[in-house]
Amino acid sequence: MSTPSPETIASTLAQGFAFTRRVPVLRRPDEYGLAYEDVTFPSQDCTPLEGWFIPADSDKLVIANHPMPANRYGYPGHLPQYATPFADFEINFLPDCKTSTTPATTSSPTTCATTATAPPPTAAWSASASSSTATS
């Protein structure tokens, strides 16, 4: 077996980033006792970026970005149809958001947010488009 050229490796990676398959949102914030609203943001290429707004009693904001091909919930790698040699386990971001919005003894709670484009004047948690920056 021959070693692929750097060009082949780069092309394969680029195709993987450009054409990542979408995965289902398996969990919702209310399953973790979090109030939330579904939100949508426009993107430059007209792909709607879907997310959650999860409020907290705080003047702080957390913007959490997800890696590709994950979405605002996480990644269902524990399901055979989505498992890969690199991710054959479930990734669930919601427990982290629950922790960051719950008051602690040493700090105030934060409002959780993530998106795939620039965030609006409010906060949200999680994005389901393949991008990494903003509120989802």
Q: Look at residue 29 in the predicted model and tell me its pLDDT.
A: 93
Residue 110 has pLDDT above 50, yes or no: no
Query: Strand locations in the chain, DSSP E?
Result: 37-41, 49-53, 61-63, 74-76, 90-92, 111-113, 125-127
Q: Would you state the pLDDT for residue 28? A: 94
User: What does the block give as tokens for 71?
Assistant: 């979405």
**46 token code pair:** 């007209």
Angle at 92 between CA 83 and CA 117, to 5 degrees: 100
Check residues 120 and 38 and name the one with the higher pLDDT.
Answer: 38
8-40, pLDDT tens digit by residue? Answer: 888 877 877 777 778 889 999 999 999 999 988
pTM (two decimals): 0.60
**Residue 63 · residue 119 · CB < 8 Å:** yes
